[in-house]
Structure 1
Amino acid sequence: MIAARLPGLIWIVIAYTVSLILKIKTVPAIEQYVIFTILILLFTTIYCYSNLFLPGRFWMYFVLQSFIVYISAFFTQDIPVIIITLYPLLVGQAIGTTGRKKNYLFLMILVLFTINTLVMVPLEIIDTFLLITLPTMVIIVSYAVIFFNQVNARIRTQYMLEEVELAHQQVERLTLHNERQRMARDLHDTLAQGMAGLKMQLEATNVYLTKGNDQRAKEIIVQSMKRVSELLADARLTIDNLRLNTKEKYDFQQSIIEEVQHFTVATGLECHFEFRVMQQLSSTISEHCLRVISECLSNIARHAKATNIWIRIEEKEKVLFISVKDDGIGFNTDMKINKDGHYGLLGIRERVRIIGGKVDIDSKKDKGTNVQINIPLQGAE
C-alpha cells in the first residue's frame, strides 16, 4: 500500500520543500515554520493511512484533509504553492477513489480552493495567477485521477485473484467429492451388484441340489463361473476408467438384452422387454442407463418378491423414456431412499441427475413398484 502511495508522497514532499524555500525569503517567525511543518506531516500521515477511512468514511477523510490544506495555505499566503499542489491531489483522489457517483466531494474541495484564492491572492494579480494555476491544476488532477484509478484497479485485481483462488479451492473440494461419489457408484454397480447376482445364483443352485436336480445345478454353476469372469472384467474396466477416465462405446440394446438374460437365468423371474429407440445414444447416456436398469433389477430380485418384471425403453420427441415395473410387495419410497446404506436408490437418482434426466419412483404396498425415468436427448453428451 505504501508503494502505491509513493508518487503522492513524493508530490507532497516537493510541495512542502518548495513552499518552505520560497517562504524563507520573507523571514517568517519560527512558529510559522513549526506549525506549517506539523500540518503537512499530519496531512501526509492521514494520506498514508487513507485506507482506514476509504471508502466507508470518505466524508471524514476529505473534509479533514481539505481543511488541513486550507489552514496550511494561510502560512504561505504570499507564496500559494500549497493551493496549486495539494488541492488538485485531493480532487484527483476524490474522483479516483470514490468514483463519479460522489462528485460533490471534489466540488467541495474546489469551493475551498476558490475561497483560498480569493482570500490570499491579491486582486491585481488574480488573473495571472489563475492563468498559470488552472492549467497546472488540470494536469495534476488528470494525472491524479489516472493514478488513483490504476491503484484501485490493482486493488480490485488483487481482490479478484483472492476470490479466484478461493473458488479454485472450492472447485477442488467439489471435484474430490464428485470423484468419491463416482467411485462409490462404480464400485456399487460392479462389485456389489455382481456379488448380489452370484448370491442369487448360489441360492438357486442350493434349491436345485435339494430337489435332486443336479443337472440344472451344474448349469447354474457354469453360468456363475462365467458371471464371475464378467464381474472381474467389469471391475478391471472400472479401475481403468477411474485411472484414465475412458468411455467404452456401448451397444445399448444388446447390453440391456444381456443384462435381462443374466437376470432371468439367475432368478427365474419372467421379464418382459420392450425396446423402441431409433436414435444412436451417446456412450454417457448408454452407460448410466444400463447401470440404472441393472440396479433396478438387482433391487427387484433382492427385495420385491415379484413374479413378473416389465422393462420398457422408448424414444419420443427427443426424450428417452425408461420404465422398470414389477408386481412385487412394494416399499415406502421415502424411508428407503433416505435410509443409510441404501446406495442403490441414491445411485439411481445420482446417475439420472448427471445426464440431465428426472426419475420418479412410484411404489405401493402389495401393488409393486414402477421406476420411471425421462432423459432429454437433445444436447446430451
Structure 2
Amino acid sequence: MRTFFFRKSTSDKDLQVFQEELRGTRPFFLIFSFVLIAMYMFAFYSDRTLLRPTKLIPLILLGIFHGALYWFSPHLTFDRRWMVPYFLVQGIILFTINLIAQNQGILLGLYLALSGAAVGIIEDIRKGIIPVAAYAILASVNQVLAWGWGSLFGWWILFGPMMFFVVVYVVMFTRETQSRRRTQLLLKELEAAHQQLAEYATKVEDLTLSAERQRMARELHDTLAQGLAGLILQLEAVDSHLGQDHPDQAQDIVHQAMGRARVTLADARSAIQDLRDGTPSVDNLSDAVRQEVERFTTATGIPCELELSPPKEIPISVHEHARRAVAEGLTNIARHAQANNVWLKLGESEGMLEIALRDDGIGFDPTVKLGGHYGLVGLRERARLAGGSLELISEHGAGTTLTLVLPLEDQGAES
C-alpha cells in the first residue's frame, strides 16, 4: 500500500510502479471488506439494539463510506497533500460509528484496523505513530463516553497489547514488502545492465575486429607492399642501366633486388608470426635504419645524409613503429618526391624518440587526400597507437618534411 508519502513530485515511472502495486493490494482490500462485513454482522447478531432503524441505517451508510475510503485510499493518499485529510475523515467516521454503536467488538476492530492501515500507508514507524496515537485517543474517548472512566483501565489492558501487535505486524509486513520491491527493482536494473553489457560486448567485438583488420592492413603494407615497391624501383633501375649498356651496375642492383626479395619474404613471415603471438621481432634500430637507407640510395641513386643518435633503450613497440615509419617515408620519397637529396635524423628529445625525414622534391598539398596511398594513413595510425604525433609539412616545389615523435615509454600492445 505504498503511497509515496515523502514524494515532492510524481513521474511516469512512479505512476507505473503505483499501478503495479495497486494490483497487488486488491486481494488485501477484498479480505478487509469480508472481515468488515463479518464484524458488522456479528455485532448486529450479538446486540439486537443495533437493528433499530435509528442505528442500523447510519451504521450501514457510515460503514459503506468507511469501506469505500479504504478501497480508494491508494488513490487518495498518492498525493501527500491528501494524507492528513484522509486520516482525519476516517477518524471522524470511526468516532461517529462508535458513538452510535457503543459495541466493544466494533470499537476494537475498526480502530485496530485503521491504525494498522495508517502505519502501512505511511511506511515509516516514526511518522506512523502520530495517527496511531490519535486513533488510540479517539478510541479511549469512545470507551469513556460509552462505559465510563472506570472501564478505561481494563479496556486498555486488552486494547494496548492488541494495538502493539497490529503495529508490529504491519511494520514487519511493510518492511518485507519494501525488501521484495527493492529486490524486484534490482533484478530489473540487473537485467537492463546485462542487456547493456551485451550490447557493449557486441560493440567491443566489432571494434576489435576493425582494429585487427587495420593492423593486418598496416603489416601487409609495411612488409609486402613496401618490399614490392622497392623491388619495382630496383628493377626499373636495372632496366635503365641495361638500356645504357651498364651491365655491371645492373648486375649489382639485381643482386641487391634478390637480397631485398629475401628480406621482404622474411619480413612477411615475421609479420605473420607477430600477428599470431603479438610479439614483434627486434633488431638494432640504427642498423635497421642504415639498411633501409642503403637500399634506398642504391635503388634510386639519391644521396641520403644520415644522423643517428638513438637512445640506449627503446621499447619493442616503439622500435617497430620507428623502423616501419622510416621504410615508408623513404619509399614515398622514391616513388613520388622526385628529390635530389634526402636528410634523415633520428634522436632523442625530452624523453621522446624523434624522427625527421626531409627531401628537396616537388612537394605536394597535404590537405588533399590521395586515393590508394595507404602509407601516410598507416603512419598516422602508428603515431596514434604509440601515443605520439606525426607532422607533415609540404608545398609544391619546396619539398616535404615528415616528423614523427614517439614516446619512449611503452604504451602497451597495439589495439
TM-score by length of 1: 0.76
Which of 233, 248, 253 does residue 266 from structure 2 map onto? 233
Q: Which residue of 2 aligns with 1:359?
A: 390
> What secondary structure does 2:367 align onto?
helix
1:345 aligns with 2:376: yes
CA distance in 2, matches of 1:206, 1:308: 23
Q: Which residue of 2 aligns with 1:288?
A: 321
| Shift, 1:161, TM fit | 1.6
CA distance in 2, matches of 1:204, 1:279: 37
Letter of the 1:157 partner, please give it: L
CA distance in 2, matches of 1:278, 1:366: 34
Which of 222, 241, 247 does residue 208 from structure 1 map onto? 241
CA distance in 2, matches of 1:187, 1:243: 14
CA distance in 2, matches of 1:85, 1:365: 90
Q: Which residue of 1 aligns with 2:210?
A: 177
Q: Is the Cα contact below 8 Å between 2:359 and 2:400 reproduced in 1?
A: yes
Deviation readout 1:71-115 (Å, 9 max, x if unpaired): 9997998435654555545444xx9xxxxxxxxxx99x9599569
- Compared with structure 1, are the counterparts of its residues 281 and 299 closer, same or farther at alpha carbon in structure 2 (3 Å cutoff)? same
Letter of the 1:363 partner, please give it: S
Q: CA-atom RMSD, angstroms?
A: 4.0
Which of 257, 269, 285 does residue 252 from structure 1 map onto? 285
CA distance in 2, matches of 1:215, 1:87: 109
| Shift, 1:252, TM fit | 1.7
| Shift, 1:294, TM fit | 0.9
CA distance in 1, matches of 2:290, 2:136: 97
Q: Which runs of 5+ in 2 are unaligned?
A: 1-18, 42-58, 95-105, 144-154
- Compared with structure 1, are the counterparts of its residues 279 and 16 closer, same or farther at alpha carbon in structure 2 (3 Å cutoff)? farther
Which of 175, 186, 204 does residue 153 from structure 1 map onto? 186
Question: Who wins on radius of gyration, i.e. which is larger?
Answer: 2
Deviation readout 1:142-164 (Å, 9 max, x if unpaired): 33333333322222222222221
| Equivalent pairs, count | 348
CA distance in 1, matches of 2:79, 2:304: 82
Letter of the 2:309 partner, please give it: R
Deviation readout 1:14-56 (Å, 9 max, x if unpaired): 67436624641422979979x959975x889x9xxxxxxxxxx
| Shift, 1:175, TM fit | 0.7
Bigger CA drift: 113-122 or 299-308?
A: 113-122
Q: Is the Cα contact below 8 Å between 2:112 and 2:166 reproduced in 1?
A: no
Counterparts of 1:1-381 in structure 2 under 5 Å?
A: 13=27, 16-17=30-31, 20-21=34-35, 23-27=37-41, 78-80=109-111, 83=114, 86-92=117-123, 117=135, 121=139, 123=141, 124=143, 128=160, 131-335=164-368, 338-378=369-409, 380-381=411-412
Q: Which runs of 5+ in 1 are unaligned?
A: 47-58, 96-105
Q: Which residue of 1 aligns with 2:146?
A: none
Q: Is the Cα contact below 8 Å between 1:362 and 1:369 reproduced in 2?
A: yes
CA distance in 1, matches of 2:81, 2:121: 11
CA distance in 2, matches of 1:276, 1:60: 81
Bigger CA drift: 240-249 or 130-139?
A: 130-139
Bigger CA drift: 127-136 or 268-277?
A: 127-136
| Shift, 1:207, TM fit | 0.8
TM-score by length of 2: 0.70
Paired-residue identity, %: 27
